[in-house]
Amino acid sequence: HQPAETSRQRHREADLVRRVVASFDQTPDPRLKELMQQVVRHTHAFLRAVRLTEAEWQKGIDFLTAVGHITDDRRQEFILLSDTLGVSMQTITINHEAYENATEATVFGPFFVEDSPRIPLGGNIAADAPGQPCWVAGTVRDTNGQPVPNARIEVWQADDDGLYDVQYDDGRTAARAHLFSDAEGEFCFWAVTPTPYPIPHDGPVGAMLTATGRSPMRASHLHFMVTAEGLRTLVTHIFVRGDELLGSDSVFGVRDSLVQDFVTHPADHPTPDGREMSGQDWTEVHFGIVLAPG
Amino acid sequence: HQPAETSRQRHREADLVRRVVASFDQTPDPRLKELMQQVVRHTHAFLRAVRLTEAEWQKGIDFLTAVGHITDDRRQEFILLSDTLGVSMQTITINHEAYENATEATVFGPFFVEDSPRIPLGGNIAADAPGQPCWVAGTVRDTNGQPVPNARIEVWQADDDGLYDVQYDDGRTAARAHLFSDAEGEFCFWAVTPTPYPIPHDGPVGAMLTATGRSPMRASHLHFMVTAEGLRTLVTHIFVRGDELLGSDSVFGVRDSLVQDFVTHPADHPTPDGREMSGQDWTEVHFGIVLAPG
Ligand SMILES: [Cu+2]
Ligand SMILES: [Fe+3]
Ligand SMILES: [Fe+3]
ipTM of the complex: 0.93
pLDDT of B172 higher than 60: yes
Flag if B212 and A24 touch (Cβ within 8 Å): yes
**Identity of the amino acid at A164:** Y
Question: Given an 8 Å threshold on Cβ–Cβ distance, is B4 in contact with A97?
Answer: yes
Residue A11 is predicted with a pLDDT of 94
Residues above pLDDT 90, as percent of chain A: 94
Dump pLDDT digits (tens) for B99-114. Answer: 999 999 999 988 999 9
| Residue B2 binned pLDDT confidence (cut-offs 50, 70, 90) | low
| Nearest listed ligand to the Cα of residue A236 | 2
Please tell me the predicted confidence (pLDDT) of residue A1: 44
Residues 218-277 of B with CB under 8 A from A: 248, 252
Per the document, the length of chain A is 294
Predicted local confidence at residue A3, as pLDDT: 59
Per-residue pLDDT for B3 more than 70? no
For chain B, the average pLDDT equals 96
By the CB < 8 Å criterion, does A207 face chain B? no
What's domain A87-291's architecture?
Sandwich (2.60)
Instruction: Write out chain B residues lying below 8 Å of A67, CB-based.
Output: 64, 68
Average pLDDT (A50-62) is 97
* Pairing between β-strand B217-218 and β-strand A133-142 as defined by DSSP bridges: unpaired
Q: Cα separation of B206 and B216, whole Å?
A: 7
Give the H or E element holding residue A239: strand A234-240
Q: Do B44 and A90 touch (CB under 8 A)?
A: yes
Chain A nearest-CA distance from B76, in A, is 8
Instruction: Report d(CA B83, CA B85) in Å as an integer.
Output: 6
- Percent of chain B at pLDDT exceeding 90: 94
What is the percentage of chain A residues whose pLDDT exceeds 70? 99
Q: What CA–CA distances, in Å, run from A259 to A238, A285, B125?
A: 6, 11, 70
**Cβ contact, residue pair B17, A43, below 8 Å:** no
- Encoded amino acid at B170, one letter: D
Residues in chain B with CB shorter than 8 Å from the CB of A85 are 20, 39-40, 43
Query: What letter represents residue B257's amino acid?
Result: S
Torsion of CA B97, B103, B105, B108, to 10 degrees: -160
CB B153 within 8 A of CB B179: yes
From the CA atom positions of chain A, what is the Rg in Å? 23
- For residue A138, which amino acid is it? G
Cα(A53) to centroid(ligand 2), Å: 37
pLDDT bracket for residue B74 (50, 70, 90): confident
- What's the whole-number average pLDDT of chain A? 96
Residue B293 DSSP class: B
Mutate to test the interface with B, among A32, A40, A44, A218 (most CBs of B within 10 A): A44
Q: What separation in Å is there between the alpha carbon of A243 and the centre of ligand 3?
A: 56
Q: Which residues keep their CB under 5 angstroms from ion ligand 1?
A: A 42, 45; B 42, 45
Give pLDDT, residue A2: 52
State how far the Cα of B30 lies from the Cα of B18, in Å rounded to an integer: 18
Please say if the pLDDT value at position B177 is more than 80. Answer: yes
d(CA A111, CA A79): 12
**pLDDT tens column, A110-131:** 899 999 999 999 999 999 899 9
Q: Poorest-confidence range of A238-247, B58-67, B70-79, B141-150?
A: B70-79
Q: Is residue A235 over pLDDT 50?
A: yes
**Cross-chain Cβ contact B86/A19 below 8 Å:** yes
Q: What is the mean pLDDT of residues A137-141?
A: 98
The alpha carbon dihedral of B125, B278, B134, B151 has a sign of positive
Q: Which three-class secondary structure state does DSSP give residue B9?
A: helix
- pLDDT, average across residues A265-293: 96
CB contacts, 8 Å: B44 with chain A: 86-87, 90
Return the number of other C-beta atoms located less than 10 Å from residue B235's C-beta.
Answer: 18
Q: Which ligand is nearest to the CA of A249?
A: 2
Reported as a pLDDT band with limits 50, 70 and 90, residue B73 is confident
Closest partner CB to A95 (pick from B26, B53, B87): B53
Once rounded to an integer, what is the mean pLDDT over residues A234-254?
A: 97
Query: What is the predicted pLDDT for the residue at B140?
Result: 98
The pLDDT tens digits for B127-147 are 989 999 999 999 999 999 999
Position B5 pLDDT exceeds 80: no
pLDDT, tens only, B179-226: 999 999 999 999 999 999 999 999 999 999 999 999 999 999 999 999
Residues forming a β-bridge with A239: A221, A259
